[in-house]
Structure 1
Amino acid sequence: MPVLGIETSCDETGLALVEQGRVRAERLASQADMHSLFGGVVPELASREHMRVIEPLYEALMADAGLRASDLSGIAVARGPGLLGSLLVGLGFAKGLALALDLPLVGVNHLHAHLLAAGIERPISFPGLGLLVSGGHTHLYRMESPTRFRLLGRTLDDAAGEAFDKAAKAANLPYPGGKYVDELSRDAKPVPGLFPKPYVDNDNLDFSFSGLKTAFAQLIEKRPHLRLPRLAAGVAEEGGLGVPSAIRDELGAVLASLSHSIAETLRIKTERALDRMPDASCLVMAGGVAANGMLRKTMADMAERRGIDFLVPGRELCTDNASMIAYAGERLFAAGLRHDLMLDAIARGRPVPDDYRRVPENP
């Protein structure tokens, strides 16, 4: 019997069914076009849109799978970190279903679920080193098991995804900017030394990308011809997003240099973590930024050189999705962990507690 996963941590409304580690059905409603008008996510609009679409998505999902509510075995929901209003919509829907159907409920750490998503496609060998790279977080974890994570390094200010998004905004690329940075820089060569590798001259495993974001903004101020006319979502044209040919090569090289700086910074810190974790069976990279082509190649090359297995989810599993929530929830249920209806949402900036209630294997 499948586990229902619910994801509403930011601007994607996702529901999915996972059974024995495999995705049975999935539905996703994106708000990208709406938020592109504002150049970023507007929290109140996001939560209202979640409320509007979540019930129809659930009904469509169950119809896709040919299931009834009574066929579910449990409900897993993203409880944070994320936008509080958005999270509350998902939690409210999950609690209502759990109460009405008398099903077990478990709240999932959204960040841990990103890393576990790699296990949907390939088995994860534990212990592993997890590198999470998303819009709001750049973290390193020791992954002891599917239910035990130890934080080794964290974002001190701006995450890698924040640097990508703000760079895209400075150049007037459409929202969401990270994928357009990747597209424009795909065939370009980085300019050595154009951007620094931030916060690597130390011996810790933390990250700071605020200086890199500032460096990119200053470069654009010096080269205003690289700032495009404001583009709305959906205007991308094949062959370079409609970027004038006169600046396409230069802008591509600048964006490739930014990607190179971020990828090398992440590689340096990840290698440092691997040096301190000799029992690591694999390296797992996940999160929205893990879809970046240069970063994927940099980490794959590094893992191959070190002789360690490298796991990264397919691009569709890197961004926020409900399959990873359902998959993580299934792992938590299997370990006898769950929550009651007092489960609360955890906004970004607060640690997600391991406050699970353990259920005996044979009650």
Structure 2
Amino acid sequence: MPRVLGIETSCDETGVALVQDGMILAQELASQAELHSLFGGVVPELASRRHLTVLPRLCDELLHRCGGGVDGVAVARGPGLLGALLVGLNYAKGLAFSLGVPLAGVNHLHAHLLAPGLEGDIPYPALGLLVSGGHSHIYRMDSPVEFELLGRTLDDAAGEAFDKAAKVLNLPYPGGAIIDSLAREAEPIPELFPIPYVDNDNLDFSFSGLKTAFANHAASNPHLRLRSLPGEGSVNSTKEAVHPEVPGVLASFSHSVSEACRIKLARALDREAQRRMPVAGLVLAGGVAANSFLRDSMVSLARERDLPVILPSFALCTDNAAMVALAGGVLLERNLGHDNSLDAVPRGRKVPDDAVSGLGFAGGERVDIG
């Protein structure tokens, strides 16, 4: 079966992976979290420079460690940080050209939705909830290459809301894992924060109002803010330093986010059942898919509707190259690919479905690099 090399540089994670027949043969990932923690968020220029330094080394290490061949190259072409995307895109173009193998540009969002397929079968048609730092979207997935956007982010995504909550309380960056760990130690107070943007009849998301409600609550209760952080900012040191009320506040905040997602997804299930073939399962994807409140909420909804729910492992929630390789392989196996005119697509722009027939695996030949 074909082997696909995946390259991921859409934000602040540099990843390379080799996938064959839907299985991860090897992968490498370099995080920039420590670098960007100094600034409380990702600095695009620094992210691009780090990708430029790290990507060639990671790719060399991966290919030589595997000692096998490469049949095709897949790269995340957007949405993401433009400079970061260009580093990976240009490297992928050069690598594919030098090896004489086909190239596939991958929609980063679609790759996230397919990521759970690396660990189990996705039942099609499926309803996919993609929840990340930049996106809160609902998709109907009729096949690995057919995605229909049903609901989208109108302003701030769920991941942005969690990042803002962590920053307001002076929790270490990135705050998602620490918020979840703290929130699991308390029971939510459902009435503490509103469930955002559900009193309507659409499938879109808006978390800006919840961000404001949380910021106002923190401003009215300044004792919730962490004043100093002992040690290296680990989860354990943070737990020891926070005020006793903080876990309950974060549990309530997490409850509001997960309930908004559950309500919208339930609404989407009802609408899909009315207008066409009901879906056969639910898929959760994206960085916020690691949040325990959201995972529990999706499992509960799936049980109510007697549907399977496909949850990615924590390693596949974050940006990674294995999902890019999988999504690229799906295109290449259908003899779809891209040439060197492939462009990067920054956040805020739609990634086009512009793969060209005849540029995939048909007639291709494996290139051994070991």
Answer whether TM exceeds 0.5 for this pair.
yes
Supply the distance in 2 between the matched residues of 1:148 and 1:90 (Cα, whole angstroms): 25
Supply the distance in 2 between the matched residues of 1:230 and 1:143 (Cα, whole angstroms): 46
Q: What is the total number of aligned residue pairs between the two structures?
A: 357
Supply the distance in 2 between the matched residues of 1:231 and 1:349 (Cα, whole angstroms): 35
Residue pair 1:36, 1:232 contacting (<8 A) in 2 also: no
Residue pair 1:174, 1:230 contacting (<8 A) in 2 also: no
The aligned residue for residue 6 of structure 1 is: 7
TM-score by length of 1: 0.96
The aligned residue for residue 58 of structure 2 is: 57
Alignment of 1:1-363 (within 5 A): 1-67=2-68, 71-229=69-227, 231=229, 234-238=232-236, 240-244=238-242, 247-248=243-244, 250-278=245-273, 279-359=278-358
Supply the distance in 2 between the matched residues of 1:81 and 1:25 (Cα, whole angstroms): 25
**How big is the shift at 1:238?**
2.5
**How big is the shift at 1:241?**
3.5
Query: What amino acid maps onto 1:287 in structure 2?
Result: G
Supply the distance in 2 between the matched residues of 1:269 and 1:234 (Cα, whole angstroms): 38
- Secondary structure in 2 matching 1:202: coil
Residue pair 2:93, 2:103 contacting (<8 A) in 1 also: yes
Supply the distance in 1 between the matched residues of 2:53 and 2:199 (Cα, whole angstroms): 48
**How big is the shift at 1:48?**
0.1
Supply the distance in 2 between the matched residues of 1:316 and 1:182 (Cα, whole angstroms): 16
**How big is the shift at 1:195?**
0.4
Deviates more, 1:228-237 or 1:3-12: 228-237
Query: What amino acid maps onto 1:147 in structure 2?
Result: V
Query: What amino acid maps onto 1:149 in structure 2?
Result: F
- Secondary structure in 1 matching 2:188: coil
- Secondary structure in 1 matching 2:74: strand
Supply the distance in 2 between the matched residues of 1:170 and 1:332 (Cα, whole angstroms): 42
Q: Percent same amino acid at aligned positions?
A: 60
Distance 1:329 1:225, change over 3 A: same
Supply the distance in 1 between the matched residues of 2:64 and 2:225 (Cα, whole angstroms): 46
Supply the distance in 2 between the matched residues of 1:325 and 1:263 (Cα, whole angstroms): 27
Render the CA deviation track for 1:42-94: whole Å, top value 9, x for unaligned: 00000000000001101111132123xxx100000000000000000000100
- Return 5+ residue gaps in structure 1 as ranges: none
Residue pair 2:231, 2:237 contacting (<8 A) in 1 also: no
Supply the distance in 2 between the matched residues of 1:169 and 1:353 (Cα, whole angstroms): 34
- Secondary structure in 2 matching 1:173: coil
**How big is the shift at 1:178?**
1.0
Supply the distance in 1 between the matched residues of 2:196 and 2:66 (Cα, whole angstroms): 47
**How big is the shift at 1:144?**
1.2
Supply the distance in 2 between the matched residues of 1:358 and 1:226 (Cα, whole angstroms): 57
**What is the root-mean-square deviation of aligned Cα atoms in Å?**
1.4
**How big is the shift at 1:239?**
6.8
- Return 5+ residue gaps in structure 2 as ranges: 364-370
TM-score by length of 2: 0.94
